[in-house]
Structure 1
């Protein structure tokens, strides 16, 4: 199957909640303000509670407690709140595409880990809107679930390949595209903003890694995740390829701290988004 057919399957099986689209419209409308966003979210008590827990989590580390949606918007900004809503929505998407071939809890943990590592690296690199890397990391391997659900035989053949090589190299071999490329295209079909889907879609393009920091950063976060979560097979994986190093300038200490941060905080975030 082509990447377009998997994207079509994903679009038919799961659509973004209307709330996500309405928040996006409000953010893009210069006549709207934070009160408009707060009113939308506040009518959903369950979502409001989850957003407040996330706003008070290690993702932001504010010194004072954020106890209301209006305060959350004023402190972290409308775009950050939108990203948190998308992160919460991602959990529902994962469940929609649950497959017996993938342990959903392990897959979700790994996805959040990638998001936490990416967010930390972005913040330390002073990248604008660093919290969006949390969402990118979470959604980066969404398509793996879609593919396993839609094409179990092909996915099983991919899983059974014991030849050496990185996952995205094997993905190109079996599917003619990487899971990140497919995930980014699904995100694009959901009309998520360009700064969310474009880095994911191009995460494994070496030329774009060398040219664009956002792409290099999310690629590095995925390498960290792979090395730390599957140490037996990828424990010696190079985190900084020449292409990544060309556009992402961080110290070795920052990489170590990103690992420590993700190791410490991932399970807390997993427990918040259920």
Structure 2
């Protein structure tokens, strides 16, 4: 099955919630105000509660409590708030593609872990809007669930392949594309912003890793996640390929700090969204 076929199946199985579409429209409308944005989210008490819990989590580490959507908008900004809504939506997307071939809780944990590592690295590098890296990390392997659900036999062969190649190399060999490439195309199809879907789509492209820091960070976070969760196969993985090293100015202390941060905070944040 082709990449585009999986993207079409994903579109049939899960549609981006209306609130995400409406928030994006407000943010893209120069005539809109912070009050318009707050009003959209506040009509949904459950979403409001989840967004506020995330705003007060280790994702932001604000010195004072963020107790209202209006304060969240003023403190973290509309784009960050949108990213939190997309992150909260991601859990619903994962559940809609549930398959017996994948332990969904484990898959979700590793997705959040990747997001936490990516955000920590972006913060270390002083990149503005670092919370978007959390969202990209979560969504990078979304398509693995889609593939496993709709091509169970092929996915089982992939799953049983114990060759310790980099994950994306095995994916190309079995499917002809990477899960990250397919996930990024799904995000594009959902009309998420370019800054979210483009790095995901190109996370495993060495040429793009070399030229784009966002892509390099996401690629590095993916390698760290693989190393930490499958040490038997990836314990000696090369974290800094030549291309990643060219775009990401981080040392092993930064890597260690990102791992420590993710080890401590992932379970808490995963449960906040779950």
Shift of 1:160: 1.0
Match of 1:235 in 2: 235
Match of 2:262 in 1: 262
Which stretches of structure 1, 4 residues or more, deviate above 4 A after TM superposition? Answer: none
Distance 1:118 1:180 in 2: 15
Is 1:26–2:55 an aligned residue pair?
no
Is 1:216–2:222 an aligned residue pair?
no
Match of 1:53 in 2: 53
Distance 1:159 1:97 in 2: 17
Q: Secondary structure at the match of 1:85?
A: helix
Match of 1:63 in 2: 63
Match of 1:207 in 2: 207
Q: Is the Cα contact below 8 Å between 2:164 and 2:233 reproduced in 1?
A: no
Within a 5 Å distance, the mapping from 1:1-274 to structure 2 comes to: 1-274=1-274
Mean alpha-carbon deviation: is it higher for 135-144 or for 154-163? 154-163
In structure 1, the gaps of 5 or more residues are none
Distance 1:165 1:238 in 2: 11
Distance 1:162 1:95 in 2: 27
Q: Secondary structure at the match of 1:177?
A: coil
Q: Is the Cα contact below 8 Å between 2:109 and 2:270 reproduced in 1?
A: yes
Q: Is the Cα contact below 8 Å between 2:48 and 2:69 reproduced in 1?
A: yes
Distance 2:240 2:127 in 1: 18
Distance 1:100 1:263 in 2: 27
- Return the TM-score normalized by structure 1: 0.99
In structure 2, the gaps of 5 or more residues are none
Shift of 1:163: 2.2
Report how many residues are paired. 274
Deviations 1:200-243 (A, max 9, x none): 10000011101111110000000111111111211111111111
Shift of 1:180: 0.2
- Return the TM-score normalized by structure 2: 0.99
Shift of 1:164: 2.8
Distance 2:95 2:107 in 1: 11
Distance 2:162 2:96 in 1: 29
CA RMSD of aligned residues (A): 0.6
